[in-house]
Amino acid sequence: MPDVPEVLFVCVHNAGRSQMAAALLDHRAAGRVRVCSAGSAPAASINPAVREVMAEIGLDLSREFPKPLTGEAVRAADVVITMGCGDVCPVFPGKRYEDWALPDPAGLPAAEVRPIRDAIDARVRALLAELLPA
């Protein structure tokens, strides 16, 4: 791993899971990891329930927006974490890939998005411990 590892989170719409994961890792890493997120078919905006449950824990997604997945983003990343985009995600040799099978928060109320956020946070903490051992 380089001095500052780069992690790319990818889901289909980049409106829920990947946005939560990127915000959580960025917050927890405090500048020690470069974080990006993207979608294979980006939505027009971030899921309102996702914005709400992230604001509850002090993370503001109001300036974030869904971004398209590019080959350049994948090439730049050291770790690519997919969340349900299946075969659409490009694969480059020498990259570390993980697939986090998590429910899609699309259309769910905040009460049902909170457990998804918390599951992502637990995985982000574990990933951070691997990337930046104490």
Task: Please tell me which residue, 71 or 113, carries the higher pLDDT value.
Answer: 113
Residue 112 DSSP SS3 = helix
Whether pTM exceeds 0.85: yes
Place of tokens 């104490």: 134
Residue 28 DSSP SS3 = helix
- DSSP secondary structure string, 57-69? TT---TT----B-
Residue 102 domain flag: yes
Residue 134 domain flag: no
Segment 79-129, tens digit of pLDDT: 999 987 666 666 778 889 999 999 999 999 999 999 999 999 999 999 999
Domain span at residue 25?
A: 6-127
Mean pLDDT on 59-68: 96
Residue 133 domain flag: no
